[in-house]
Each structure stands twice: as C-alpha cells, then as structure tokens.
Amino acid sequence: MSNEIKTITPEEVQQLLNNGKKVSLIDVREDEEVEEGMIPEAKHIRLGTIPERMNEINKDEEHIMVCRSGRRSESACEYLKEHGYEVKNMVGGMMKWEGNVK
C-alpha cells in the first residue's frame, strides 16, 4: 500500500469546477486567512479541528485539501488518509490559486 499523498494542481481544481464536477474542497487554514478569500465551493474546517469534525467529512467521496501553500493541507491529507479517507492535496495552495474567491 502506497503512502504517497495524491496531489492536484490549482489549475486542475479550477478545471473540475469549470466543468461543473461536484468537488469536495476543504480549506484547512485559520479563520483570519480564510477571511482574505477562499474558493467559493470550499468548506472551511481548520486543521486543528479536523479530528472532532471528521463526521462532517463524507467518507464515500474524495476530498481536496487546501491551505495557503500546500503544507498544512498535506498534513490534513496524511491524517485523513490514515483514517480511511480518499484525499488529494492541492499543491501550491491558495498562493497559486487564480480562480474566484469569496
């Protein structure tokens, strides 16, 4: 079993959204970072609160984790993957995101 975390680029995420695909994006940044803008389709679950909010994350679908640069979202991916979730890390994070923000 590979422990590699799957990755996806911000451009690929944008493409999925543009194609009307149902995508689960989870933004794990802190509140003040999210206030500066987050992907409109994303759900905000701070990294530190993931353990107690895992019931909000559907195990039957794949989730794309997002943070500022891709490091915290990678930690979130590792944690969720250990608990049997399908996850991908958006590499480059919001620093590389060129799509809409709310």
Q: Indicate the Cα dihedral angle 29, 66, 72, 57, nearest 10°.
A: 90
Number of H helices, E strands in the chain: 4, 5
Beta bridge partners of 8: 90
Identify the active-site residue in 67, 76, 80, 87. Answer: 67
DSSP code of 69?
S
User: Is 77 among the catalytic positions?
Assistant: no
Give the CA radius of gyration of the chain: 12
User: What is the set of active-site residues?
Assistant: 67
